[in-house]
Amino acid sequence: MPPYLIEIYVSIFGLFIGSFLNVCIHRLPVSASIVHPRSMCPSCGSMIRFYDNIPVISYLFLKGRCRHCSAAISLRYPLVEIISALFAFCVYLKYGPTWEGFIYYTFIASLIVVIFIDLDHQIIPDVITLPGIPLFFFATFFMSRMTFMDSLLGILAGGGSLFLISWIYELVRKKTGMGGGDIKLLAMIGALTGWKGVVFTIYVASAVGTLVGISAMLYRNKDMQLKIPFGPFLSLGVITYIFFGSEIINWYFKITG
């Protein structure tokens, strides 16, 4: 077998999953079915044929325009497909053909949907996080480094800690800070990565979120109330944990003695 053949297959699989994720990103917020009807051009409403719906390749072939009305197709479609393929490839490199790898990829794929929906609409859909909590709780059965107890503690830590933070924020600022969507997302994160994953995720998300918030404020009007969704930062935090968590934690405790 030629080298990297499986990695290439895995990446192509990731591209097609990415294509499905695009459908979820666009249809879940408007509660449309994700299987019906078939994809249409948002400008002219014409059906998109299967040969115009091949991930990335169709976009390049059509030069980013609808075959019928020439309306521009958002660059985000191929971008989501490529992100999905990259993660399929990276998860395979790190975890190989294991249940663990499959579960982590499923988890990351659902986070890709969460990230883009949160960026567009400032909501995190319950249809992902609510089933995600029990699903990833039971998924830990297939994972060597997690037990049901770890998962349960993770759900409590994730749901509980953000609930506490947002409650304090409300008391101090007299307005709602974080949405309930963030709390459910962090509970789902806890289900798969345990309380350590939750602590790591909040730490990274707050640090990166603060940096981005400050730079956004510097570039824009200072007293403008910025509404930066927190879901993408939580997602980036836990993805960092999945790939580099133990390395970063070991390194951190080494330099702090």
In the complex, which residues of this chain contact Zn ion (CB under 5 A)? 41, 43-44, 66, 68-69, 71
- What are residue 58's phi and psi, to 5 degrees? -65, -40
Smallest distance from the beta carbon of 40 to Zn ion, in angstroms? 8
Smallest distance from the beta carbon of 48 to Zn ion, in angstroms? 9
Distance between CA atoms of residues 16 and 205, nearest Å: 29
Residue placing its CB nearer to Zn ion in the complex, 70 or 106: 70
Smallest distance from the beta carbon of 52 to Zn ion, in angstroms? 10
Distances (CA, A) of 133 to 93, 130, 179, 183: 26, 6, 17, 11
Smallest distance from the beta carbon of 46 to Zn ion, in angstroms? 5
Smallest distance from the beta carbon of 64 to Zn ion, in angstroms? 12
Residue placing its CB nearer to Zn ion in the complex, 42 or 97: 42
Smallest distance from the beta carbon of 78 to Zn ion, in angstroms? 17
Residue placing its CB nearer to Zn ion in the complex, 43 or 206: 43
- What are residue 47's phi and psi, to 5 degrees? -60, 140
Count other C-beta atoms under 10 Å from residue 241's C-beta.
24
Count other C-beta atoms under 10 Å from residue 49's C-beta.
11
Helices (H), the chain: 5-27, 57-61, 76-95, 99-121, 126-139, 148-173, 180-219, 231-255
Residue placing its CB nearer to Zn ion in the complex, 39 or 43: 43
Residue type, 102: F
- What are residue 40's phi and psi, to 5 degrees? -125, 160
Residue placing its CB nearer to Zn ion in the complex, 68 or 76: 68
Residue placing its CB nearer to Zn ion in the complex, 40 or 207: 40
